[in-house]
Amino acid sequence: MNALKTALFVAMLLGRTLPNQPSLEGELQRAIQKLSMAENFSWVAMTIEEKDGKDPKVAETLEGKWDKNGWCQLSNPKSKNAGDAFLKGDRIAVLLQECWKVLDVKEAALAAGKPDKTIRQAQQFLKSKSPSEELRSYLGRVEDLRLGKNGLYSGRYTALDVPIIIERAQAAGRKIPDFVEPAARINFRIENGVLASFELVISGREAKAKKGQVVETLLAMSIDFSGVGTTALEIPAEVRKLLE
């Protein structure tokens, strides 16, 4: 018994993690794995924008449903053009004037000129179709991960990694202005062992070209998951015919 106590004491002095003591990174990875192994789930993606001297406002909102068979349903409640869509793989069908239509987004992107609002919305949907992949793109560079008293896991990014994180966020469909000396951090929440939400926060100074002023801006880009294992996707027969 004395030998065991001595070993435990030495391990604590050396700052080593004991074999049976879970790390914060391990807890987070297991919570993410449980979400990715679910049969289905729903989510809401939201961007809150805060600027100096102004009240916070909702800049973007996207609602989604996913199942492991490859189907994804997306909706932009603020869009007047192609606000609802179904995706199967890289193919997308959008609702246009009460009729579902398959859009070839890749071909439209190669065409000359600026694509119309319908195509731009479809492109946004394709970028935003996988919140799990978006989250994974932010992992691996998180530093100083801590668990707060409120149950929130929080970490930060170094100044060298922030441009990489911004680039990955943009690839996932996030709209981020050109910040001067940006900083970034990320928050996670776990409920019943499953990832419930994550939030990427990017802040910095933003130059306004028209007025020549510099404004402190903060973007809080969150995704909240729900209905894990209980989400039902009701896919119209017309959509199945178009995408299967």
Residue 18 DSSP one-character state: P
pLDDT digits (tens, 9 = 90+) for 80-128: 766 789 999 889 999 888 789 998 876 554 444 566 788 888 888 888 8
- Residue 169's contacts (CB-CB under 8 Å, 6 or more residues apart) are 134, 138, 176, 200, 202, 221
Is residue 193 a contact partner of residue 34, using CB atoms and an 8 Å limit? Answer: yes
User: What mean pLDDT is predicted for residues 166-184?
Assistant: 92
Pick the CATH number of 23-243 from 1.10.3470, 2.50.20, 3.30.1180, 3.40.50: 2.50.20
- Does 6 have pLDDT greater than 50? no
pLDDT at 19 over 60: no
Q: Which residue has the higher pLDDT, 150 or 192?
A: 192
pLDDT for position 106: 67
- Whether this prediction's pTM lies above 0.85 is answered by no
Look at residue 164 in the predicted model and tell me its pLDDT: 96
Spatial contact of 31 and 25, defined as CB atoms under 8 Å apart: no
The domain segmentation of the chain, as residue ranges, is: 23-243
User: What pLDDT was estimated at residue 2?
Assistant: 53
> Of all residues in the chain, what percent carry a pLDDT higher than 70?
84
Residue 66 has what pLDDT?
95
Q: How confident is the model at residue 131 (pLDDT cuts 50, 70, 90)?
A: very high
**What is the token pair recorded at 65?**
């449903």
215 close to 205: Cβ distance less than 8 angstroms: yes
Q: What is the pLDDT of residues 32-54, one digit of tens each?
A: 999 999 999 999 999 999 988 78
